[in-house]
Amino acid sequence: MARWLFIGSLLFTSLVAVGYRDVKRAPDAKPLGGVCESTHECRWGTSCMEIEGVLRGQCSASCNADAGCTASFGGHSLCLGADVCARSCRSAAECPAETRCNAYGWCERPDPDEL
């Protein structure tokens, strides 16, 4: 009985350790709003998000209010209605590479059909 309890606890500990393993980040990881294909390309605190009609492969984080985004990413960020942080902007010059400032005041990755 003790052997099965020991084996079960080892298995449980292993599964928990694998679940908490963090993604390694690229040395040139991109900031909030940066274009990405995987979370590996995003800075700590963000992940590569793909939300249809909102974000197309950009580094972002979950939020529920602008205050959460500004606390994590500074004054050039906002919380979108899809509960994700985005980099705010007034012009394309304020946006990361391969993104543009949209009519709503945040940096978006353009649809390839629009390029």
**Which residues of the chain register pLDDT less than 70?**
1-23, 114-115
pLDDT digits (tens, 9 = 90+) for 85-102: 999 999 999 999 999 999
Measured from the Cβ of residue 100, the count of other Cβ atoms closer than 10 Å reads 13
Using an 8 Å Cβ cutoff, are 54 and 60 in contact?
no
CA angle 48, 53, 54 (to 5 degrees): 45
- Global pTM value: 0.76
Q: Which residue has the tokens 């709503």?
A: 104
- The C-alpha atoms of residue 115 and residue 102 are separated, in whole angstroms, by 14
Domain ranges of the chain: 25-109
Gap between the Cα atoms of 108 and 65, Å rounded: 19
